Amino acid sequence: MELVLGLIILLFSAILHEIAHGYVADRLGDPTARLSGRLTLNPKSHIDPFMSILFPLLLLLSGSPIIFGAAKPVPIDPFNLKEGRKDIALVALAGPLTNIMAAIVASFVLRLLNLSFVADAIPYTLFNFLVMFFVLVMNYNLLLAIFNLIPIPPLDGSKVFALILPEREANMYLALESIGMFIIFFLLLFPLGPFSLGSLIFRLFSFSQGLLLP
């Protein structure tokens, strides 16, 4: 049950992530996501066969210590944005920040559940379910935020990192987007010397989790 619930939470957390991208883009002058019907919680509008289903399953079957996925990216037309690369970076940051906010809200609810008068008022079975649910919400949103802030194209962190590069170098760097997911998958499965992407994500996740857990 926990695995199925976790996958559902992961999917909707990824959907919120993408809606945040589209909403901020809309506010900054690009209505593409809104006009495409992507500012909705309906999973049919967001499920990506590879990132929403196949990628999490590959990580699970390969024994990866980190399991995550993503929804289909919302369409963004950078030519509609008012301030070019700056606005692109703001749109990119909106997704991870939304996941961080969701994790903080889940942490707050867990702290409320830990209050004795609240715990005593809730049936034991329901209490355990609520704790499991909000722990999963917190964990998966933290993982999504950390993963997406990695500065490897096409992840959101790359759009922010590109902001500090000269335009020519930034374009060359972002051109790695077509092979970026294969690079990420390779780094997750095969450490390069002392560097392990999976271990780095896990350490950042453990640190963030320690800050938020009651």
Q: Which residue range(s) make up the domain with 124? A: 2-212
pLDDT band at 63, cuts 50/70/90? Answer: low
Mean pLDDT (whole number) for 33-54: 87
What's the rounded Cα separation, in Å, for the pair 45 and 58?
23
pLDDT band at 71, cuts 50/70/90? Answer: confident
* pLDDT at 148 (0 to 100): 94
- Residues 28-39: tens digit of each pLDDT: 999 999 999 999
Mean pLDDT (whole number) for 127-145: 95
Mean pLDDT (whole number) for 182-203: 86
Active site residues: 18
Q: Which phi and psi angles does 195 have, rounded to 5°?
A: -90, 130
What's the rounded Cα separation, in Å, for the pair 6 and 105?
17
pTM summary value: 0.91
* Mean of per-residue pLDDT scores for the chain: 90
pLDDT at 60 exceeding the cut of 80: no
C-alpha distances in angstroms, 105 versus 98, 100, 129, 204, 212? Answer: 11, 9, 17, 19, 10
CA-nearest of 189, 94, 199, 105 to 148 is 94
- Provide the domain count of the chain: 1
* pLDDT at 64 (0 to 100): 62
